[in-house]
C-alpha cells in the first residue's frame, strides 16, 4: 500500500472483477472472499455526488472525456494486526487500466480528516513515540483553514543551510507529504536556498541539471527546517540529496529540492526529507512531532 497524507480524503484499492487494459488484474481485492464486505448506500455515508440504485460511485476522466478510473465506495473490516481491526472501514474500489495511475489501486488515506475521529494510535514501523528525547520536538498544525482540511500543514519559521539562516517568507506554510519524493518551495524561497547552497558548495564541481533538480554536485551541505515550538527537521546527505546513478554513486548527485509554480499556496516537504525521522501526527493534540534519527 502507498500512504497519502496530503489531500486525498479517500483510501482506494483495486477490486475484482477487473476491466481489461494495460494493468494486470492481480493483485486485486476480491470482495467474494470476505463476509464483512458491503456497498456504501446512497445517503449521508456516500462521499460522492454520483449515487444511484447501484450504490455510491465515482469516476475520473481523461481530457478527451474517456473514463480512466471507475470506482465504487464500499466498506469492510480493515485488519491492522490480529488484535487491531477497524469495522466498516470505507474505501473506494477502483478499476484502473492505465499504468500511470496504478497508485490509485493501493492507496491508504492517512490525511488529517480521516484521523479526526480516531482515539487510538497507529504506529507504522515502530512503537509508541518517546517525546522525552532531546532529539524530539513538536510544532502546531494549521487546523483553522478549510482549504487544507485534509492536509498536515505547519508554519515554516526558517531554513538553515550550513549555519546560515534563511527566512521562510511568502505563505510561510508547509505540508508534510509522504507520497512525494522531493521537497518543493515557492520560487523565492527556493532561489534563496539554492543560491546559499551553491555558495557553500562552490569548491565542488557542478553537474548538469536532472529533470526538475537544477543544482547537482558530487557532495553536499546540510539544511534544516525550523517550525514554531522548537521542532526542527534536519535532513542528512541521503535525505537532502538525490543520487541519480544509485546510492553508492557520488558522481551525479542533485539537491533534492525544487521550485513550485508561482501560484502554489504552500511548501511541500517530501518523503525523502523525512527519512530516518519519526514523524508523529497528533491530530487530537493539533500538532506534529519530529524525533530525529528514530527510524
Q: For residue range 137-156, list pLDDT tens digits in order.
A: 788 988 888 888 878 899 88
Q: For residue range 46-101, list pLDDT tens digits in order.
A: 877 777 767 788 776 655 555 567 788 889 998 877 887 888 888 888 876 554 45
Residues 254, 243, 281, 13, CA torsion sign: positive
Higher pLDDT, 248 or 189: 189
Q: For residue range 95-137, list pLDDT tens digits in order.
A: 765 544 555 667 777 777 654 444 445 555 555 556 555 556 7
Confidence of residue 214 (pLDDT cuts 50, 70, 90): very high
If you average pLDDT over residues 155-167, what whole number do you get? 82
Which domains are assigned to the chain?
A: 2-111 (no CATH), 136-291 (2.40.70.10)
Amino acid at each position: 500500500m502507498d500512504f497519502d497524507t496530503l489531500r486525498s480524503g479517500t483510501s482506494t484499492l483495486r477490486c475484482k472483477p477487473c476491466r481489461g487494459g494495460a494493468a494486470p488484474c492481480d493483485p486485486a481485492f476480491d470482495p467474494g472472499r470476505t463476509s464483512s464486505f458491503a456497498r456504501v448506500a446512497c445517503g449521508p455515508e456516500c462521499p460522492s455526488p454520483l449515487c444511484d440504485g447501484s450504490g455510491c460511485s465515482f469516476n475520473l476522466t481523461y481530457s478527451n472525456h474517456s473514463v480512466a478510473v471507475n470506482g465504487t465506495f464500499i466498506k469492510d473490516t480493515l485488519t491492522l494486526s490480529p488484535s487491531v481491526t477497524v469495522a466498516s472501514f470505507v474505501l473506494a474500489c477502483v478499476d484502473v487500466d492505465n499504468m500511470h495511475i496504478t497508485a490509485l489501486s493501493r492507496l491508504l488515506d492517512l490525511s488529517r480528516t480521516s484521523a479526526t475521529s480516531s482515539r487510538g494510535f497507529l504506529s507504522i514501523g515502530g512503537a509508541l513515540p518517546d517525546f522525552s528525547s532531546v532529539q524530539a520536538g513538536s510544532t502546531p498544525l494549521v487546523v483553522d483553514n478549510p482549504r487544507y482540511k485534509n492536509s498536515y500543514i505547519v508554519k515554516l519559521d526558517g531554513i538553515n543551510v550550513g549555519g546560515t539562516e534563511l527566512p521562510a517568507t511568502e505563505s510561510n506554510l508547509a505540508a508534510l507529504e509522504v507520497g512525494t519524493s522531493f521537497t518543493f518551495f515557492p520560487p523565492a524561497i527556493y532561489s534563496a536556498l539554492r543560491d546559499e547552497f551553491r555558495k557553500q558548495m562552490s569548491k565542488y564541481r557542478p553537474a548538469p541539471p536532472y529533470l526538475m533538480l537544477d543544482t547537482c554536485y558530487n557532495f553536499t551541505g546540510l539544511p534544516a527546517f525550523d517550525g514554531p515550538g522548537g521542532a526542527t527537521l534536519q535532513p542528512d546527505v541521503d535525505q537532502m540529496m538525490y543520487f541519480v546513478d544509485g546510492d553508492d554513486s557520488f558522481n551525479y548527485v542533485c539537491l533534492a529540492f525544487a521550485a513550485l509554480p508561482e501560484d502554489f499556496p504552500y511548501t511541500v516537504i517530501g518523503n525523502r526529507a523525512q527519512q530516518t525521522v519519526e514523524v508523529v501526527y497528533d491530530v487530537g493534540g493539533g500538532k506534529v512531532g519530529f524525533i530525529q534519527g528514530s527510524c
